[in-house]
Amino acid sequence: MEQEYSITEEINHYLDILFPITRSLTGKGNRETLRVIQEIIPLKIKEVPSGTKVYDWIVPDEWNIKGAWIKDRSGSTLVDMANCNLHVVSYSEPVKMIMDWDQLRPKLNWIDELPDAVPYRTSYYKRDWGFCVTKDQYDAIREAGTVEVFIDSEFSQGSLSYGEILIPGKSEKEILISCYICHPSMANDSLSGVILTAFIARSLMSDQPELMHSYRIIFVPETIGAITYCATHEEQIKELVAGLVITTVGGPGKYGYKQSFEKNHDINGIIESVLNEMDIDFITYPFDVYGSDERQYSSQGFRVNVASITRDKYYEYDYYHTSLDNLDYVKAKNISESYDIYRRIIARLDRNLTYDTVQKYCEPMFGKRNLYPSLGGGLLPPEEEMDDLDCMLWLNYFCDGTHSLFGISEAIGATVEQLHRIARILESRGLLKLLL
Amino acid sequence: MEQEYSITEEINHYLDILFPITRSLTGKGNRETLRVIQEIIPLKIKEVPSGTKVYDWIVPDEWNIKGAWIKDRSGSTLVDMANCNLHVVSYSEPVKMIMDWDQLRPKLNWIDELPDAVPYRTSYYKRDWGFCVTKDQYDAIREAGTVEVFIDSEFSQGSLSYGEILIPGKSEKEILISCYICHPSMANDSLSGVILTAFIARSLMSDQPELMHSYRIIFVPETIGAITYCATHEEQIKELVAGLVITTVGGPGKYGYKQSFEKNHDINGIIESVLNEMDIDFITYPFDVYGSDERQYSSQGFRVNVASITRDKYYEYDYYHTSLDNLDYVKAKNISESYDIYRRIIARLDRNLTYDTVQKYCEPMFGKRNLYPSLGGGLLPPEEEMDDLDCMLWLNYFCDGTHSLFGISEAIGATVEQLHRIARILESRGLLKLLL
Amino acid sequence: MEQEYSITEEINHYLDILFPITRSLTGKGNRETLRVIQEIIPLKIKEVPSGTKVYDWIVPDEWNIKGAWIKDRSGSTLVDMANCNLHVVSYSEPVKMIMDWDQLRPKLNWIDELPDAVPYRTSYYKRDWGFCVTKDQYDAIREAGTVEVFIDSEFSQGSLSYGEILIPGKSEKEILISCYICHPSMANDSLSGVILTAFIARSLMSDQPELMHSYRIIFVPETIGAITYCATHEEQIKELVAGLVITTVGGPGKYGYKQSFEKNHDINGIIESVLNEMDIDFITYPFDVYGSDERQYSSQGFRVNVASITRDKYYEYDYYHTSLDNLDYVKAKNISESYDIYRRIIARLDRNLTYDTVQKYCEPMFGKRNLYPSLGGGLLPPEEEMDDLDCMLWLNYFCDGTHSLFGISEAIGATVEQLHRIARILESRGLLKLLL
């Protein structure tokens, strides 16, 4: 797998800049994250006011937090959000009080099996507060008995922020690329996905003269952000050809892909074909109602096939949703390898077009267009190779507006890339027309 | 298999009462049978006049018989219908004459392989007459040489009788339960089915507040009765969701089920799922054009999927259509076990509903309805169990008006009962709507 | 395989007459060939003027040739078309010139691996000329150095000739039988197919009182002739039920069949069923875009399923498109065996009808039509045989306008012939109606 040194470097640079920011469903950290992404691509940042009704949901109040700590009676700090922004349950209400152990205990989250980890917890839709701590911190708090607890958070009538970039290609048929920006300092889930999405967007912009599909690329807080986006772009989501949710792409473990809801959809076939060609050993995760924002895009009204290619998939790795999902765990090199894979998959998706024939009765006369050997009567082309002539004839046979190039490639054993190249020649000679 | 003692007792009681009655396509015996059933359920008894055109058929004249015998010249009785109503071919015309062996022989039916059995024969649509006898009787008649033959039967412009009970449930979607009342004294075919159908009807009436489907339960003479019913209820038959023909459910042998014409129809899947859950070893009989009244309900204009669960299926047991299919062969306990099985199958059929979503774009907010854990960020529920939360999310994903609960149960490995319970919760919260 | 001696004799007679004729896309040889076929069947010969636009193609100028040779400087003949009409590239322009070896070499075609063979080459759509020679001739020409070359050919504003015969059956549904007449002296490809088609047409005419389908039988030059025919019979081609391209049916090797584009189409199933019944070992060639005129009939606007049964399929035998594909290689006996096979396949295709029921609700009363045993109550017919009663009941069940007799035969294990016989009885009794 070749990769320009510079991309890995760039990814590393943005991992360092973006990792420390405190993100949530809303708030300044999200805006700051989107502004950093603007250094990479000309992202539009949109704001949807708190209280906006989006289908069955309401955009929540904006939440911002300046700091939070737990101190013992001597004033020494037992837990400080300045050290790790996972210490505070996301969307915690403001608190300042003296509490004894029995009162505080239900507000503490920790993980017995990972004593050094700070777990990640949220309480978005039920007003509450809490702390997430390591096992040592938990023990120290218990020993301290009475402690002072402080959360300097604020709810306000603000807005939910998201980023969007539309990259038009030849066809108005759109592919969605969606990542989520609501996770605070965790590197695989979801920062790796945010950074990879930004670089994919940049690469698509440079591919643009050759792009066949259009791309709708969004950076949204998970669930409520995706729902907000759907509610404000209902017609566009309905028309999507397919989509990718990019997340957890930087771990040290095994590649995997979560299938879209239709097992036999081209997007799944294309992902498998690319991973197999690259000789990558991967885990197949069947479609599941647990997951990320594909849950929204796959709902009854949309039914868009959306898949994810992952490296250490969310749910599946030990450090998932903990402070150990950090920059020791996630490496820029892993992300840049995933970038290569996504690039190839998207390139194939992009070329997976559907053509119709112009001349639907009988074969066109290839000869007069210099598309056919002029001296007839010879034998078949050698069987070992699927040569261009074969592809041309098969395309001419199959293209009736119902077969995708990937479908044809599976039927005859040619690659989508070869078929696409020849289909464009036939299109330029007036024999095929692209369904746009 | 638990069963209230009383049901077995009741079944036994009705076996004793109903077994001796001489039934046929029409006549007093059929009416008497239906009146006995009225002790169990409020059956409506309907009469269709002889001569009524029903599709390609005509309701035949009513046939009644008082007695029939064969006597030798000394006046001693060789065969007497008073001992066994199978002795006379059903719909025999009246006869009183002296005959010698050569004349009588073509009118006699017996079974070489079952010398003690009286076979069951009919001549409904060709005016004829005949006797059915044991091998000993056959030999005695031959030895007697000249005999006197008497059949005291009568054809009249009367009517064909059938019983019907409609048990409405929440939905107007109907399931048909059909049994046939035209067989004289044979216990497995068809008396066991008639009695079981009556008790199933009674149980559905007591389930009624919870019934999801409506039930159309009919007691008809086989073929002509089913055809008469179809001809007089054409629109209702067309709209049926599925059906069961209940017959031969009391034998000592193996359970079996005859599939409906669409092998992959839910009714077949549901029957198999129940039999497997109950750990019952059963024979699968593929759909066949030979059979019972499913032949009518499955015809081109109706194409209703109708199955039968049997214990010693008609055609398949040695005593089929003979006098040995009697109360030594059939036991109330067997019927009450079959009753349990039918109850379970019908319960599952009843809950096999189709829901549509109310909120078709994106997920509903389960949290605000207290349907979702409020502290987010945790792991998946443990994989060993399909818990209610899983079912809720899968229902929310699948329900779009095209997936039955049984279909969903097969896809995700939950039971129809669990799915139904949760679907009703989602329905009560305004998230799903039942397709009625 | 039995065959009347006379058919083999007749085939032999026409092989001898037709083999020497110089055929091409157009010209006198084609007309002469069609006139010879008129001795067998009342073929209509049609002419389409040069220059006629047919879809993407144009009917070419008529090409006729009187002779051609290469002589050395001493005037002795090195190559003479009088000996083998394959010596001249078909559609060669007229030439008369002195040439040296370097000039002539690019105009010569020969086959290294088959030094004794004269290859068959054409240059239909690019004005050019050339000779096809054996290896010895090639060497002699090279040794001769300077030679005189003469091609006495002529292009004219004439016409393309084709033959057509329509054999109407009971139904207006048509089956296409197509063969190609454009090959000069080669016996397997395509003369064997032309002769076999003529005899098939004759046999269908004698079957005519019993024919269920109508037959459209055409003798066209390959590709341009088929395209011309499609362009002038567009509506008829669209409506075809299926088709056969008859070619290469007289070789000494193995039988094979090229599937039509829909693998599961009845035509493929029927061919396989006949070949298997006849215990013939055969090669299955999947549909391919390389092939004969099925390429035109299978194009998007028509999508007619067309197959070919072959003996030594084109492309597959060593002597393909050479002078060795001659009357030593091809025997009348082989063609008459292929005739038997085609006869059987077409007979089954012919009976592969689709019926609808007249009485769509419930079973018809078979008894009153003497179609059913009148004494009821007996057992099933013995399982070993699919008897006529079974077929009748299954036909009665299946026939709803969507199931072909072949489809039913596959479902129940009866033969198309038995089903057809019984369907006609049911039709005559007013129970089924044939979809015409």
C-alpha triplet C352, C355, C357: angle, nearest 5°: 160
What is the average pLDDT across A6-26?
A: 97
Give tens-digit pLDDT for A52-96.
999 999 999 999 999 999 999 999 999 999 999 999 999 999 999
Residue B378 has pLDDT above 70, yes or no: no
Flag whether residue A411 sits within 8 Å of chain C, measured between CB atoms: no
Reported as a pLDDT band with limits 50, 70 and 90, residue C369 is confident
The residues near B47 (Cβ < 8 Å, ≥ 6 apart) are B159, B160, B161
Residue A391 has pLDDT above 60, yes or no: yes
Which chain C residues are closer than 8 Å to A380 by Cβ?
A: 290, 315
CA of C376: which chain B residue's CA is closest?
B122
Give tens-digit pLDDT for A404-432.
999 999 999 999 999 999 999 999 999 99
Measured in angstroms, the CA of B303 and the nearest CA of chain C are apart by: 9
Residue C431 has pLDDT above 60, yes or no: yes
Burial class (CB in 10 A: 0-12, 13-18, 19+), C178: buried
Residue C297 has pLDDT above 60, yes or no: yes
Flag whether residue C377 sits within 8 Å of chain B, measured between CB atoms: yes
CA distances to C82, C90, C184, C286 from C70, in Å = 12, 16, 20, 43
Task: Tell me if C354 sits within 8 A of C403, measured CB to CB.
Answer: yes
Residue B18: its pLDDT value, please?
A: 98
Measured in angstroms, the CA of B316 and the nearest CA of chain A are apart by: 43
- Three-state helix/strand/coil letters over chain A: CCCCHHHHHHHHHHHHHHCCCCCCCCCHHHHHHHHHHCCCCCCEEEEEECCCEECCEECCCEEEEEEEEEEECCCCEEEECCCCHHHECECECCEEEEECHHHHHHHEECCCCCCCCCECCECCCCCECCEECCHHHHHHHHHHCCEEEEEEEEEECCEEEEEEEEECCCCCCEEEEEEECCCCCCHHHHHHHHHHHHHHHHHHHHHHHHCCCEEEEEEECCCHHHHHHHHHCHHHHHCCCEEEECCCCCCCCCEEEECCCCCCCHHHHHHHHHHHHCCCCEEEECCCCCCCCHHHHCCCCCCCCEEEEEECCCCCCCCCCECCCCCCCCCHHHHHHHHHHHHHHHHHHHHCCEEEECCCCCCCCCHHHCCCCCCECCCCCCCCCCCHHHHHHHHHHHCCCCCEHHHHHHHHCCCHHHHHHHHHHHHHCCCEEECC
The terminus-to-terminus CA distance of chain C in angstroms comes to 34
**Percent helix, strand and coil across chain B, each to the nearest 5:** 35, 25, 40
State whether C360 and B301 contact (CB < 8 Å): yes
Give tens-digit pLDDT for A130-185.
999 999 999 999 999 999 999 999 999 999 999 999 999 999 999 999 999 999 99
Look up residue C402 and give its DSSP letter: S
What is the average pLDDT across C219-239?
A: 98
Which chain C residues are closer than 8 Å to B89 by Cβ?
A: 375
Distance CA A146, CA C358 (A): 90
The residues near C159 (Cβ < 8 Å, ≥ 6 apart) are C26, C47, C48, C49, C50, C59, C62
Give strand pairing partners of A149.
A70, A97
Residue B211 has pLDDT above 90, yes or no: yes
| Number of other CB atoms surrounding residue B286 within 10 Å | 9
Residue B275: its pLDDT value, please?
A: 98
Q: Given the structure tokens 């493929």, which residue do they identify?
A: C268
- pTM equals 0.92
C-alpha triplet A200, A204, A206: angle, nearest 5°: 120
The residues near B209 (Cβ < 8 Å, ≥ 6 apart) are none
Give tens-digit pLDDT for C134-162.
999 999 999 999 999 999 999 999 999 99
Task: Tell me if B278 sits within 8 A of B210, measured CB to CB.
Answer: no
Reported as a pLDDT band with limits 50, 70 and 90, residue B379 is very low
What is the average pLDDT across B73-100?
A: 97
Residue C377 has pLDDT above 80, yes or no: no
Calculate the average pLDDT of chain C. Answer: 94
Look up residue C395 and give its DSSP letter: H
Residue A436: its pLDDT value, please?
A: 84
Residue A384: its pLDDT value, please?
A: 42
Measured in angstroms, the CA of C56 and the nearest CA of chain A are apart by: 5
Residue A246 has pLDDT above 60, yes or no: yes
Distance CA B22, CA B31 (A): 10
Task: Tell me if A54 sits within 8 A of A18, measured CB to CB.
Answer: no
Residue B5: its pLDDT value, please?
A: 56
- Tokens linked to A216: 């709708």
Residue B373 has pLDDT above 80, yes or no: no
ipTM for the whole complex: 0.92
Higher pLDDT, C350 or B367: C350
Residue C371: its pLDDT value, please?
A: 81
Which chain C residues are closer than 8 Å to B298 by Cβ?
A: 397
State whether A296 and B364 contact (CB < 8 Å): no
Distance CA B33, CA B162 (A): 10
A338-342, A377-381, A399-403, B150-154: the lowest-pLDDT one: A377-381
Flag whether residue B377 sits within 8 Å of chain A, measured between CB atoms: yes
Among B354, B355, B356, B361, pick the best mutation site for testing chain A contact (most A Cβ within 10 A): B361
Distance CA B368, CA B365 (A): 6
Of chain C, the percentage scoring pLDDT greater than 90 comes to: 92
Give tens-digit pLDDT for A199-233.
999 999 999 999 999 999 999 999 999 999 999 99
Residue C312 has pLDDT above 60, yes or no: yes
Comparing CB atoms, the residue among C57, C231, C290 nearest residue A380 is: C290
Which chain A residues are closer than 8 Å to C119 by Cβ?
A: 377
Reported as a pLDDT band with limits 50, 70 and 90, residue C385 is very low
Comparing CB atoms, the residue among A360, A368, A390 nearest residue C301 is: A360
Measured in angstroms, the CA of C301 and the nearest CA of chain A are apart by: 5
Comparing CB atoms, the residue among C365, C393, C397 nearest residue B56 is: C365
Of chain A, the percentage scoring pLDDT greater than 90 comes to: 92
Reported as a pLDDT band with limits 50, 70 and 90, residue B383 is very low
Residue A382 has pLDDT above 50, yes or no: no
Flag whether residue C234 sits within 8 Å of chain A, measured between CB atoms: yes
Residue C376 has pLDDT above 60, yes or no: no
State whether A364 and C56 contact (CB < 8 Å): yes
Strand bridging mode C95-99 / C147-156: antiparallel
Residue C274: closest CA among C199, C335, C202, C349:
C349
Residue B387: its pLDDT value, please?
A: 84
Residue A1 has pLDDT above 50, yes or no: no
Give tens-digit pLDDT for C182-211.
999 999 998 999 999 999 999 999 999 999
Which chain B residues are closer than 8 Å to A227 by Cβ?
A: 362-363
Q: Which chains touch B (3 or more CB pairs under 8 A)?
A: A, C
Which chain A residues are closer than 8 Å to C56 by Cβ?
A: 359, 362-365
Residue C5: its pLDDT value, please?
A: 56
